[in-house]
Structures are given as structure tokens and as C-alpha cells.
Amino acid sequence: MNIPIFNRWQVRNSINNAQISKRISELTAQNTRNQLRQTIEQAYADAKSALNTYRAREKQVEALQLTYEITEKRYEAGAANIVDFNLAKINVDNARSNLIQAKYDYLFRKKVLDFYLNKPLSFE
């Protein structure tokens, strides 16, 4: 014979387990929200850093282009040798390559941030 009045505290234990499960679910949801917020903040910082790098590379290209032009004029005038001229040319080419890389890194970081902000992804 089974008497439902005393069931070895099963109902009480079930209620306690349900409350604990609910609290665990709430904490898991909060943790997920915090991780998402942290990911978005990191994406923003990465995009901002990539933009600063891109702007710095633009200035570097401008400076090295000016150096190249001056070295070219000096070479034509006989005041610089071929090694200096070639070195200036290599430096400006490397700076342009770095600029292109920085540009696409910035565009990628910006698209990642747009994704997290639920903006439609367009590749124009």
C-alpha cells in the first residue's frame, strides 16, 4: 500500500530541483548575454584599431611617395645613386601593399561589426 501523504519528501525535493534548474538557466542566459556584449565590444575595438591603422598607412604612403619623388629627382641630377633610388621605390611599393592590406582588414572588421548590429551585409 502506498500512502501519498508521506512520499519521502519527493515533492519538496522536486520543487527545490526545479528552482535550482531555473536559477541555473537564468545565470546561463545572463552569461551568454555578457559574452555577446563582450564580443561586440571587441569587434568595435578591432574596427576602430583597423581604421587607425589604415589612416596611418595612408600617411606613410604619402610620406614615402614624397621621399621617392625627391630621390628620383636627386638620381636624375646625379646626387643619388641607383641603390638609394631602388630602395626608395621598394619602400613606397611596400607601403602601398601595406595600405591595401590595412584597407581590406578595416572593411572586414567593419562588416563583422555590422553583422553584430544586425545591419544588412552589402558588398559595394
- Give the rounded distance of the alpha carbon of 65 from its chain centre: 29
Structure confidence by residue, pLDDT tens digits, 65-119: 999 999 999 999 999 999 999 999 999 999 999 999 999 999 999 999 999 988 8
43-116 CATH fold: Helix Hairpins (1.10.287)
Q: Which of 1, 5, 105 is nearest to 54 (CA)?
A: 105
Per this entry, what is the length of the chain? 124
Cell representation of residue 113: 561589426
DSSP 119: P
Q: Is the confidence at residue 3, as pLDDT, over 60?
A: no
**Domain-wise residue ranges, the chain:** 43-116
